[in-house]
Chains A and B, each alone.
Chain A
Amino acid sequence: MVQTEAAMEAYNAYWINSPLPAASTLYMVLILIIAILALWQARTFVSKF
């Protein structure tokens, strides 16, 4: 189902007041960084225990 104009308007409205630039993309980048860090720690954990 293609996003309607109203749905995209509501979606974009969430990010409009963010103090960060490109907040809708930045949150994904932040998630990936934290996830990779957690996975790296888990690898280290596996090798130590």
Chain B
Amino acid sequence: MDLQALKTQEHKRRVKIGFMWAFFCAILWGIWYIPGTVVWVLNPFDAMYSEIAATSGDGISLVVTAVLITAFNALTVILALMVWNGVLGKFGEMKRTLKEFHPCSKWFFLAAIFGGPMAILGSFIAMGFVGGAFAAVAALMYPVIGSILASKWYGEKITRRAYTGIAFIIAGGFTIFGGGVLTELGTGNISWIGYLGGLMAAAGWGIEGAIAGKGLDISEPDVSLTIRFIAENIIWWIIIIPLLAIVGFPMFKYAILAFEPLTLLTLIFAGITFGFCYVAWYKSFPLIGVGRGQGIGNLYGLFAVIFIFLFFGDMPAWTILLGGALCLVGSSIMFSESTEELESLRGD
């Protein structure tokens, strides 16, 4: 076998594995909505919501409760990632990457700001104000932002086929948002903060992907993602939660009360799904590019709707189904792209 044939074979294998990781990301992200939804009704979060709502109103209460849930989610993600890195024997690499803050870790601290306070919190807000199925599909717009940023910033190659996929995803996103607004207008109950949460999720994850794509040029995905979640834990537990406690919200009281078996079990399963889905997402970027990794990862919308139906028995509204279907068509167009087009992920 000549060198060219070996290169082609290796390239095809790389693309196949890249798509496999993006697919793992989609499945795990979709199933995360099960523990991510039920945890809201469990104590202490249910009691926390009621206590804050009585004095500060429903909107503020929901956001503050979402902060505590998100912080616990980040904490259990770190536990899951420690298992992941332990099994893969990556602790030495983690130490090395952490030491190199300027060239490596700084990107993942930045990614944590967009993926944490902005995207994850936004997703929880959308879930709390509108619903689990809406939250799952509202953020489907994120590959648009991610691929445009990756293209403009460091010249990631976006083919015509990839642009077509993105166009379908935009159409799907408009169907989801527009349809949801129309349905709510009909009932006279408009949860604007829920839609804002959906937009925060889309923009946050898109920007995070582009930043991570840059950082992954010089570091290893399993370790990079763990550093990104260490940064997110710092943001929640050392900055935001103490700030909210200083303002007067009962953050620490309810954080201690969260150590209850069913609540902890639910949070741990949320951590496993979220941590493993995120690491699969990061693993796909160097292999198939940020735009495609995010595009295929977008299938999480479909998986969320399937899992929500299987475990909760909820049939989503037709607008969510139609929007989700359009997004799926967009993702499939990217998926079916010839591997030759992916030989070089960068434009030059």
Contact = CB atoms under 8 A, between A and B. Distances in A.
Interface string A1-41: 11110110011001111111001001110111011001101
Contacts of B280: 38
A41 B24 contact: yes
Main SS at interface, chain B: helix
Interface residues of B, number: 41
Interface of B: 17, 20, 24, 27-28, 31, 34-35, 37-38, 41-44, 46-47, 80, 84, 87-89, 222, 257-258, 260, 262-263, 265, 269, 272-273, 276, 279-280, 283, 307, 310-314
B222 A42 contact: yes
Interface residues of A, number: 31
Given A30-B31, A38-B28, A3 B43 contact: yes
B311 A26 contact: yes
Interface of A: 1-4, 6-7, 10-11, 14-20, 23, 26-28, 30-32, 34-35, 38-39, 41-43, 45-46
B88 A15 contact: no
A27 B34 CA distance: 8
23 contacts: A1-B257, A1-B263, A3-B260, A11-B41, A14-B41, A15-B312, A18-B310, A18-B311, A26-B311, A27-B35, A28-B265, A28-B269, A30-B31, A31-B273, A34-B27, A34-B31, A35-B80, A35-B273, A38-B276, A39-B276, A42-B87, A42-B279, A45-B17
A3 B89 CA distance: 39
